[in-house]
Amino acid sequence: MGRNKIQVGTVASAALAHFATLLSIQRKEKKITVEELCSRVGASKPTMIKILKGDPSVSIGLYFETAWVLGVSLFETDENRFAIKHKTNAKIEELLPNRVRRKKVILDDDF
């Protein structure tokens, strides 16, 4: 049984294509074969080809692992700044409610 095609918007599709291009360029600059990259990331060759093409059906964890192996910067180059950002975001998230509910609309049907 085949997988359903993943639907992504144009912005997400463009971002994936850009990210895949960065990964592909870095792989070629470092002269790493697809097979070597597969063994270092722990993915099969068909999956790695999908990653390098920007396929949205591949898990984001494999994209991030591939970026880490190739040395492509994801967010911040300084790990300390990333840790500080993470702590700040965690504090902000603690202040927000756990669940988001829509407000009930009370209809005035008294004519």
Taking alpha carbons only, the member of 38, 32, 39 closest to residue 51 is 38
Q: What is the Cα–Cα distance from 101 to 99, expressed in whole angstroms?
A: 6
Q: What is the Cα 74 distance to its own chain's centre?
A: 9
pLDDT of 26? 93
Task: Give pLDDT tens digits for 63-93.
Answer: 999 999 999 988 766 667 777 888 888 888 8
pTM equals 0.69
| pLDDT of 53 over the 80 cut | yes
Question: Using CA atoms, how far apart are residues 101 and 28, in angstroms rounded to an integer?
Answer: 48
* Residues 2-43: tens digit of each pLDDT: 566 778 888 888 989 999 999 999 999 999 999 999 999 999
DSSP track, 59-70: -HHHHHHHHHHH
